[in-house]
Structure 1
Amino acid sequence: MASSTATRVQKRREVLRRAGLRPLQMWVPDTRRPGFAEECRRQSGIVAEADKRDSDLGSFLDAALDDLDDRAG
C-alpha cells in the first residue's frame, strides 16, 4: 500500500533533520504583483544616482575585488 504524501514528506524531513538540517521558510518579493517592475526601476534609479555621486565607490569596489582575488589565489 502506498504511503500518503504527508507521510512521505514527514519521513523526508526526518532524514534531513538527522543530517543536521532544519526547515526554513523564506519570503521573497512577488514578481507577479502589479507595480513590481516599476518599483524595481524606481529603486534602481535611486541607487544609480547615489553611485554617480560617490566618487570613492569605484576605488572601493576595485580594492574589494583585489582582496577577493588575493584570497582565492
Structure 2
Amino acid sequence: MTTVHANTRVKKHRDALRAAGLRPIQIWVPDTRRPGFVEECRRQCLVLRNDPQEKEIMNWLEAAADTDGWV
C-alpha cells in the first residue's frame, strides 16, 4: 500500500464524515504510560479523599448521572 493511496482513502473517509455533519477535533490527554503518572493520580486522590466539597460534587454527579441501561 502506498502512502498516496492511504492518504486518498483517509481524505475520502474524512470527506464522508464532514458530509454527514461531523467535524474533526483534536484533544490532548494525559499519557498514562509516563513515569510518575500512577503516583500523581494517587497523590491527587489522597488530597481529595476527605475534602467536603469533593464529596458534595461527587454526590451531585451521582444523582445527576443517567445510568439507565448501564451494566
Whether TM exceeds 0.5 here: the answer is yes
Which consecutive segments of 4 or more residues in structure 1 shift more than 6 A? none
Deviations 1:7-66 (A, max 9, x none): 00000000000000001111110000000000000000011121xxx28x46x827x62x
1:26 — aligned with what? 27
Which residues of 2 match residues 1-73 of structure 1 at below 5 A? 4-50=5-51, 54=52, 57=55, 61=59, 65=63
Q: Number of paired residues?
A: 62
C-alpha distance in 2 between matches for 1:68 and 1:33: 31
Identity of aligned residues (%): 48
More helix by share: 1
Larger radius of gyration: 1
Amino acid across the alignment from 1:7: T
> How does the TM-score come out when normalised to structure 2?
0.70
Q: CA RMSD in A?
A: 2.9
